[in-house]
Chain A
Amino acid sequence: DVKVTQSSRYLVKRTGEKVFLECVQDMDHENMFWYRQDPGLGLRLIYFSYDVKMKEKGDIPEGYSVSREKKERFSLILESASTNQTSMYLCASSLSLLSGTEAFFGQGTRLTVV
Chain B
Amino acid sequence: GENVEQHPSTLSVQEGDSAVIKCTYSDSASNYFPWYKQELGKGPQLIIDIRSNVGEKKDQRIAVTLNKTAKHFSLHITETQPEDSAVYFCAASTGSGGSYIPTFGRGTSLIVHP
Contact = CB atoms under 8 A, between A and B. Distances in A.
Contacts of A40: 9, 106
B6 interface: yes
Nearest to B45: A105
Contacts, number: 76
B21 to A, nearest CB: 13
Nearest to A102: B46
Interface in B20-73: 30-32, 34, 36, 41-46, 49, 51
Contact of A96 (B9, B99, B107): B99
A100 B1 contact: no
Contacts of A35: 104
Interface string A1-13: 0001000000000
- Among A4, A92, A102, A103, the most chain B Cβ lie within 10 Å of the Cβ of A103
B56 to A, nearest CB: 18
A58 B99 CA distance: 13
A24 to B, nearest CB: 14
B99 A45 contact: no
Contacts of A48: 99, 101
Interface in B88-114: 89, 91, 93-94, 96-107
Interface of B: 1, 6, 9, 30-32, 34, 36, 41-46, 49, 51, 89, 91, 93-94, 96-107
